[in-house]
A and B are shown apart, each in its own frame.
Chain A
Amino acid sequence: MASRALGIVAFIVGVLLAAGLCVAKPEGDNPVSSIFDPRSTPADSINRLSHFVLGITGVVFLVVFSLLSYAVVKFRSRRAEAEREPAQVYGSTQIELAWTVIPILIVAVLFAATAQMIHAIQDAPEPAGAIEVTAIGHQFWWEFRYPKLGIVTANELHVPVSDPAHRTPTFLKLLSADTDHSFWVPQLAGKTDLIPNHPNETWLEPHETGLFHGECAQYCGTQHAKMLLRVYVDSPEDFKAWAHMQQQPANRDEKEAAGTHVFESTACLNCHAINGTNGTGRFGPDLTHLMSRRTIAAGAAENTPGNLRLWIQNPDAIKPGSLMPAMKLRDADLDALMLYLETLR
């Protein structure tokens, strides 16, 4: 009975783990952001440490699991001896001492490795070539400011890939405009919270270009789920080109005067800024280069004209509970505004 039961349990656990790993395969072109697939320095240091910890805990698991299983199978009650009581043993100082001392040694080893890694990541000095970014968490989107480069953008962070000979890690200062948030891009770095009145710092040093997905990892209110985060790791040239483009003033084509007028004369400008207009609001994302971003509403939807139009008229259809109000524009005004927004590259 007992050995069969144990076999069933082991079988179930094994099948579940195997099934889990199989179905966790990536699908489509949306990357799976596994913490065991790091592409940047703090994340790969953490990955190494986690393999070490997994190794130790794995061995402990196997030893204790085997002992428990052995005891359950070996010392099960058999019919023949059901009437007799077994030898009454009250304890053993030597054995108990052994299973106190061995865990103490394991803890010492774990602590040494952990403390060293904490120091290596948290107290890493900022090299001269570092990119500085201030990330500000808002309900429910990300504001990114590059103070040295004079760039303001939202939700999609661009950073250069770092070359070991010529390091360009990105150092982020983390602030919050309202509630607590947490900055997490699993393949690049562990998470750090954005807490009002409590500036934090983190850094990442990617060694591969690409798009990496992350999200807010601290519950921040109704739309915590759709506070997504995209980090584009660009080649140095691409990053330079992107930065140059972001530094340009907004497109101000006379043809779009009607749309500009709608933006400047409605509630849009209370929250949104467009460089070169009288809109300087900071409650919502800066729209100066809106069309250079691939998503809107903090990654909740693709940045297509249709989605943008829907977002302006009825944000709840995309992200219910977001702080963007339904603008209730007349069709003609909305058409003009859309034409204008689409020129903001």
Chain B
Amino acid sequence: MSSDAIAIQTAEAAGRPWVETLHEWVTTVDHKRLGIMYILYALFFLLIAGLEATIIRIQLMRPHNDFVSPQVFNRMFTMHGTTMIFFVAMPILFGFANYLVPLMIGARDMAFPRLNAFSFWLTAFGGFLLYFSFLGGNGLYGAGNAPDVGWWAYAPLTSRAFSPGNSSDYWTIALLVSGFGTIATAINIIATVICMRCPGMTLGRMPLFAWLNLIMAGMAILAISPLTAAQVMLAVDRYLDGHFFDTQAGGSATLWMHFFWIFGHPEVYVLVIPAFAFLSEIIPVFSRKPIFGYPVMVGATACIGFVSLSVWAHHMFTIGMNSYANSFFAITTFAVGIPTGIKIFNWLGTMWGGRIQFKTPMLFCIGFLFQFLIAGLTGIMLGTAPFNWQLSGSYFVVAHFHYVIVGGILFALFGAFYYWYPKITGRLFNETLGKLHFWLFLIGFHLTFDLMHIPGLLGMSRRIYTYEPGRGWDRLNLLVTIGAFVQGIAILVFVANLIISYFKGAKAGNDPWDAWTLEWSVSSPPPVYNFGSVPTVASRRPLWDLKHPEDPDSRYE
């Protein structure tokens, strides 16, 4: 294989006007630049949605608090949920996929670079459209409102009778637009992985990162399509007097629930499978061992992909399905735990017998393993339909899915940030600040989300803007809020680290972690065309083969 990079033709040649640089970024079709734009865009919205979470937590800090009105509170949790899922988690994961998939499979770009740019701008405009509702939600007189129907926007709360004005329409159209962007990106990732692999890289030699993103993209197409269809139907209801979900005209509220959750549950896996992908790259490198059971890891993920398409109604155990339907969705929910468990054990198997280096990326991955274990087990509790009748709609559920998304996905994402930061910027991040970020965030996370389970067990419903004193929820909510502030400080440390290290960090070199996949064979940041000459690989760890010619992987595979 060859790693002779072509000379870096930096876009930022000295002395060029900033307008030209800006123009280059706006019109770019380079997968790396689009990846970076996805990530920065998502970080921007992470700060906004984090601010919204802070407002929610301040309001709930004590009973009968009047920090914000009920109307504002309802908008905050709607916007927090919608933003975090559609305009933080999805774009940030797509950003990493965009940046890394071509580099890892030895390609010079995505299969459809223009479609790639188009998807990014659709997603970007979707986000800005959602936030424009603050101005335009009631028409264009500067007095607008954000949507307040909750992130799953159950019918008939979204019908014109209960949601006058345009705020719900901004929600609908924003998700419709970004949904098209997501579908296009998913198609692009599939085409790239299937068609653009370098010579020698059979499907069985692809890095797990590429495999898992391939499966994620397949799921994204299957999951986002029904949501997009439902948004069209909702728009028809609101503007053309359709009656799909309009219960006052004989429509069906449960139809919307099915449409939403057949998107909503696979969506969880669309988000968590890329997190699995990060772990499957980071844990082997910092354990100094290849991934344990590569074929089983691929198989288990594909299995998750299939089974998770048949679990959606476990979000709907309380809507009065019959006992057979409830039993069916209970067993499919339990079943999805089996391949997920296999994955956790295989990461454990990877660490077993290794030499684990506790660098910041690895710390976040270990945090993921412990927290995802707990999230999975509370998921089993929620899958037990009768237990779910007590837990559903309470703060226990809120704690559970934040355990998945923050304790799992976000921890893995932070790991990915620290792991690939040197590749993307060419600079090493500050390890001390990284560790500080990890420990602060870990403490804040557990303070907030461990304790948040308990008010749910004591009967506290979610989405309430205030509560009566003396029901055993007061002090717990105060502690949860304090934890949220600790997390906020940790996020600021993270952002500061990103910025400081970009300017002050030591030069990273091509391969700071002594890693094994192709992206580490090129310069940091990689040249525009990625590979001067297209590499040829003979095993799953091409750089291991290069560094250990006496004992290459290709001998065993």
Question: Using a CB–CB distance below 8 Å, which chain A residues touch chain B?
Answer: 1-2, 5, 9, 12-13, 16-17, 19-21, 23-36, 42-43, 45-46, 49-50, 53-54, 56-57, 60-61, 64-65, 67-68, 71-72, 75-78, 81-82, 84-92, 95-96, 99-100, 103-104, 107, 110-111, 113-115, 117-119, 121-123, 139, 174, 178-180, 182, 184, 186, 189-193, 195-198, 200-201, 213-226, 228, 299, 320-321
Partner of B356, one of A2, A9, A87, A123: A2
Chain B residues bordering chain A, tally (CB within 8 A): 106
- The reply to whether A110 and B370 contact each other, CB–CB distance below 8 Å, is no
- The reply to whether A110 and B384 contact each other, CB–CB distance below 8 Å, is yes
In the complex, A247 Cα to B180 Cα: how many Å? 59
- The reply to whether A111 and B331 contact each other, CB–CB distance below 8 Å, is yes
Q: A1-B358, A50-B381 are in contact. List 13 more A-B contacts (CB 8 A).
A: A12-B446, A23-B479, A33-B458, A46-B390, A64-B344, A68-B366, A77-B356, A91-B346, A92-B292, A96-B349, A196-B253, A198-B319, A320-B70
Contact A182:B330 (CB < 8 A) given known A27-B472, A96-B346, A219-B463: no
Closest approach, in angstroms, between the C-beta of B503 and any C-beta of chain A? Answer: 29
Q: What would 18 A/B residue contacts be, using CB atoms closer than 8 Å? A: A12-B442, A32-B471, A35-B390, A36-B457, A61-B374, A64-B373, A65-B370, A92-B349, A114-B334, A117-B385, A118-B326, A122-B323, A122-B326, A190-B389, A190-B390, A191-B390, A221-B162, A321-B69
- The reply to whether B459 and A213 contact each other, CB–CB distance below 8 Å, is yes
- The reply to whether B356 and A33 contact each other, CB–CB distance below 8 Å, is no
Contact A191:B349 (CB < 8 A) given known A16-B446, A222-B70: no
In the complex, whether B287 has a CB less than 8 A from a CB of chain A is: yes
Collect the chain B residues with CB atoms within 8 Å of residue A186's CB: 390, 458-459
- The reply to whether A24 and B476 contact each other, CB–CB distance below 8 Å, is yes
For the complex of A and B, the 7 pairs showing the least CB-CB separation, nearest first, are A190-B389, A225-B464, A33-B459, A200-B320, A91-B293, A196-B247, A30-B470
Please tell me which stretch of B111-119, B150-158, B223-231, B272-280 contacts chain A, meaning at least 4 of its Cβ atoms lie within 8 angstroms of it.
Answer: B150-158
- The reply to whether A115 and B330 contact each other, CB–CB distance below 8 Å, is yes
In the complex, A19 Cα to B248 Cα: how many Å? 48
Contact A99:B341 (CB < 8 A) given known A68-B369, A75-B287: yes
Contact A86:B346 (CB < 8 A) given known A20-B476, A50-B384, A191-B392: no
- The reply to whether B457 and A35 contact each other, CB–CB distance below 8 Å, is yes
Q: Chain A: which residue is nearest B148 at the CB level?
A: A222
- The reply to whether A20 and B450 contact each other, CB–CB distance below 8 Å, is yes
- The reply to whether A193 and B323 contact each other, CB–CB distance below 8 Å, is no
Annotate B360-402 by CB proximity to A: 1 below 8 A, 0 otherwise. 0001001001100110011011001111111111100000000
- The reply to whether B344 and A96 contact each other, CB–CB distance below 8 Å, is no
Collect the chain B residues with CB atoms within 8 Å of residue A88's CB: 289-290, 551, 553
- The reply to whether A178 and B162 contact each other, CB–CB distance below 8 Å, is yes
Partner of A217, one of B157, B380, B461: B461
In the complex, whether B28 has a CB less than 8 A from a CB of chain A is: no
- The reply to whether B393 and A197 contact each other, CB–CB distance below 8 Å, is no
In the complex, whether B8 has a CB less than 8 A from a CB of chain A is: no
Collect the chain B residues with CB atoms within 8 Å of residue A61's CB: 373-374, 377
Collect the chain B residues with CB atoms within 8 Å of residue A219's CB: 74, 150, 154, 157, 462-463
Partner of B338, one of A95, A107, A225: A107
Annotate B460-491 by CB proximity to A: 1 below 8 A, 0 otherwise. 01111111111110111001000000000000
Interface of A is mostly: mixed
- The reply to whether B467 and A225 contact each other, CB–CB distance below 8 Å, is yes
- The reply to whether B156 and A228 contact each other, CB–CB distance below 8 Å, is no
Q: Chain A: which residue is nearest B387 at the CB level?
A: A50
In the complex, A113 Cα to B442 Cα: how many Å? 36
- The reply to whether A114 and B327 contact each other, CB–CB distance below 8 Å, is yes
Collect the chain A residues with CB atoms within 8 Å of residue B196's CB: none
In the complex, A30 Cα to B351 Cα: how many Å? 51
In the complex, A96 Cα to B343 Cα: how many Å? 10
- The reply to whether A95 and B447 contact each other, CB–CB distance below 8 Å, is no
Contact A53:B463 (CB < 8 A) given known A96-B296, A99-B345, A118-B330: no
Collect the chain A residues with CB atoms within 8 Å of residue B191's CB: none
In the complex, A16 Cα to B446 Cα: how many Å? 8
Indicate the member of B320, B378, B380 with the most A CB atoms within 10 Å: B320
Collect the chain A residues with CB atoms within 8 Å of residue B461's CB: 184, 215-217, 224
Question: Using a CB–CB distance below 8 Å, which chain B residues touch chain A?
Answer: 69-71, 74, 148, 150, 154, 156-157, 161-162, 247-248, 250-254, 287-290, 292-296, 318-320, 322-323, 326-327, 330-331, 334-335, 337-338, 341-342, 344-346, 348-349, 351-358, 363, 366, 369-370, 373-374, 377-378, 380-381, 384-394, 442-443, 446-447, 450-451, 454, 457-459, 461-472, 474-476, 479, 548, 551, 553, 556
Partner of B254, one of A16, A110, A198: A198
- The reply to whether A90 and B354 contact each other, CB–CB distance below 8 Å, is no
Q: Chain B: which residue is nearest A109 at the CB level?
A: B334
Q: Chain B: which residue is nearest A113 at the CB level?
A: B384
Collect the chain B residues with CB atoms within 8 Å of residue A36's CB: 457
- The reply to whether A218 and B476 contact each other, CB–CB distance below 8 Å, is no
Collect the chain B residues with CB atoms within 8 Å of residue A174's CB: 320
In the complex, A27 Cα to B459 Cα: how many Å? 15
Q: Chain B: which residue is nearest A83 at the CB level?
A: B355
Collect the chain B residues with CB atoms within 8 Å of residue A96's CB: 293, 296, 342, 345-346, 349
Partner of A122, one of B322, B446, B457, B553: B322
- The reply to whether B389 and A225 contact each other, CB–CB distance below 8 Å, is no
- The reply to whether B353 and A89 contact each other, CB–CB distance below 8 Å, is yes
Collect the chain A residues with CB atoms within 8 Å of residue B447's CB: 16
- The reply to whether B320 and A19 contact each other, CB–CB distance below 8 Å, is no
Collect the chain A residues with CB atoms within 8 Å of residue B247's CB: 195-197
Collect the chain B residues with CB atoms within 8 Å of residue A191's CB: 318, 389-390, 392-393
Q: Chain B: which residue is nearest A216 at the CB level?
A: B461
- The reply to whether B338 and A53 contact each other, CB–CB distance below 8 Å, is no
- The reply to whether B293 and A92 contact each other, CB–CB distance below 8 Å, is yes
In the complex, A76 Cα to B74 Cα: how many Å? 47
Collect the chain B residues with CB atoms within 8 Å of residue A218's CB: 154, 318, 393
- The reply to whether A114 and B338 contact each other, CB–CB distance below 8 Å, is no
Collect the chain B residues with CB atoms within 8 Å of residue A33's CB: 458-459, 471
Partner of B319, one of A12, A23, A193: A193
In the complex, A299 Cα to B450 Cα: how many Å? 30
Partner of A100, one of B338, B354, B468, B474: B338
In the complex, A167 Cα to B248 Cα: how many Å? 38
Indicate the member of B296, B387, B388 with the most A CB atoms within 10 Å: B387
Q: Chain B: which residue is nearest A98 at the CB level?
A: B345
Closest approach, in angstroms, between the C-beta of B30 and any C-beta of chain A? Answer: 35
Collect the chain A residues with CB atoms within 8 Å of residue B377's CB: 57, 60-61
Q: Chain B: which residue is nearest A123 at the CB level?
A: B323
Partner of A30, one of B150, B254, B468: B468
In the complex, A215 Cα to B455 Cα: how many Å? 14
Q: Chain B: which residue is nearest A54 at the CB level?
A: B381
In the complex, A283 Cα to B330 Cα: how many Å? 38
Contact A86:B74 (CB < 8 A) given known A33-B459, A221-B162: no
Closest approach, in angstroms, between the C-beta of A268 and any C-beta of chain B? Answer: 23
Partner of B157, one of A27, A54, A221: A221
Q: Chain A: which residue is nearest B483 at the CB level?
A: A16
Contact A224:B464 (CB < 8 A) given known A20-B454, A90-B290, A119-B323: yes
- The reply to whether B296 and A107 contact each other, CB–CB distance below 8 Å, is no
Partner of A99, one of B342, B351, B354: B342
Collect the chain A residues with CB atoms within 8 Å of residue B356's CB: 2, 71-72, 75-77
Partner of B458, one of A34, A84, A184: A34
Collect the chain A residues with CB atoms within 8 Å of residue B370's CB: 9, 65, 68
In the complex, A119 Cα to B471 Cα: how many Å? 32
Q: Chain B: which residue is nearest A201 at the CB level?
A: B320
In the complex, A91 Cα to B330 Cα: how many Å? 32
In the complex, A49 Cα to B330 Cα: how many Å? 14
Q: Chain A: which residue is nearest B456 at the CB level?
A: A35
In the complex, A20 Cα to B446 Cα: how many Å? 12
Q: Chain B: which residue is nearest A180 at the CB level?
A: B154
Q: Chain B: which residue is nearest A190 at the CB level?
A: B389
- The reply to whether A115 and B338 contact each other, CB–CB distance below 8 Å, is no
